[in-house]
Amino acid sequence: MAQMEQSGGPRVAHRVEQARQHEARKIARRSFMRVSVFAGLSLGLGAWTASFLGFFNLRHPTGFGGVVTVAKARIPKVGDDPARISEGKFWLSNLQGAQGDVLGVGGAGGLMALYWKCPHLGCTVPWSPTFAGGQVNFPGVTGWFRCPCHGSTYSRAGVRVFGPAPRPMDTMLLTINGDGSLNVNTGKITSGAADNPLRAVVYNG
Ligand code: FES
């Protein structure tokens, strides 16, 4: 009897050890499954995000919000009517000297990218080539940006001369490329101010 009790001890200890190892293996398997599922989800989410950004072209946006390249052929000649660049939501003016400087701040002329959103309440401002400056106290000067919503009127350099707009038209960062084209960064918008004509970039394209 005493002998049986002595041999039962190691057997029980062996079973306890087996149960412990079994439980440890189960826990390890569950952990592995969790890590696998999490890794799979992360990979799936990463792939989805990449395709989302790719689909909407958000990594390197072009068009409005990104850099818009304007080919040389689309750039207006000095003194011509501004060109509408729809994909960037701006007007491209090519000023002749101090043209558009209606406040006397000066300016050597050149190219300006004017955001077409009216600084008053956001209407799209068109170029009006036949609008007579006599209506806004600038007789003899024909061709103005004229907002259809409340009549704010701006010179070729986007300087406000009439209407409720609180400031001149905003400008976008413009750089000239070696081949005569230019880049307009439509994500870099500067509030319009009296110095708008001084922001023009001389162009010899
Ligand atoms: S939105 Fe242009 S003048 Fe009001």
**Over the chain, what is the mean pLDDT?**
86
User: For residues 134 and 1, which has the higher predicted lDDT (pLDDT)?
Assistant: 134
For residue 205, being part of any structural domain is answered with no
Q: How confident is the model at residue 2 (pLDDT cuts 50, 70, 90)?
A: very low
The string of DSSP letters for the chain reads -HHHHHHHHHHHHHHHHHHHHHHHHHHHHHHHHHHHHHHHHHHHHHHHHHHHHHHTT-SS-BSTTSEEEE-GGGSPPTTSPPEEEGGGTEEEEEEETTTT-TTS----EEEEEEE-B-TTT-PBPPEEEEEEGGGGT-TT-EEEEE-TTT--EE-TT--EEESS-SSPPPEEEEEE-TTS-EEEEEEEEE---TTGGGG-B----
* Mean pLDDT of the 125-147 span: 97
What percent of the chain has pLDDT above 70?
81
Residue 94 Cα to ligand 1 middle (Å): 24
For residue 36, tell me if it sits in a domain: yes
How much is the average pLDDT of 119-133? 98
Task: Look at 57 and 144; give whichever has higher pLDDT.
Answer: 144
The residue among 59, 84, 105 that closes a domain is 59
pLDDT at site 1: 46
CA 106 to chain centroid, in Å, comes to 31
pLDDT of the residue at 170: 98
Closest residue CA from atom 1 of ligand 1: 121
Q: What domain count does the chain have?
A: 2
> Same structural domain for residues 17 and 71?
no
Q: Judge whether 76 lies within some domain.
A: yes
Same domain, yes or no: 71 and 54: no
Give me the domain span that covers residue 38. Answer: 1-59
pLDDT, tens digit (0-9, with 9 covering 90-100), for 164-181: 999 999 999 999 999 999
204 belongs to a structural domain: no
For the CA of 165, the closest atom of ligand 1 is 3
* R_g over Cα of the chain: 34
Q: Which of 10, 26, 59 is the last residue of a domain?
A: 59
More confident residue, 27 or 189: 189
Residue-level pLDDT at 140: 93
Q: Which residues line ligand 1 (CB under 6 A)?
A: 118, 120-121, 123, 147, 149-152, 163-165
**pLDDT score recorded for residue 11:** 74
167 CA distance to ligand 1 middle (Å):
11
Mean per-residue pLDDT, 21-35: 72
Structure tokens at 178: 């070696």
pLDDT for res 14: 74
- What's the 114 CA to ligand 1 centre distance in angstroms? 15
pLDDT digits (tens, 9 = 90+) for 38-63: 455 555 555 555 555 555 555 556 79
77 Cβ contact partners less than 8 Å away, ≥ 6 residues apart: 94
pLDDT tens-digit profile of 68-110? 999 999 999 999 999 999 999 999 999 999 999 999 999 999 9
Taking CA atoms, 100 is separated from 22, 56, 133, 136, 184, in Å, by 85, 38, 12, 14, 20
Distance (Å) from CA 160 to ligand 1 centroid: 11
- What's residue 29's pLDDT? 75
Q: Mean per-residue pLDDT for 167-196?
A: 97
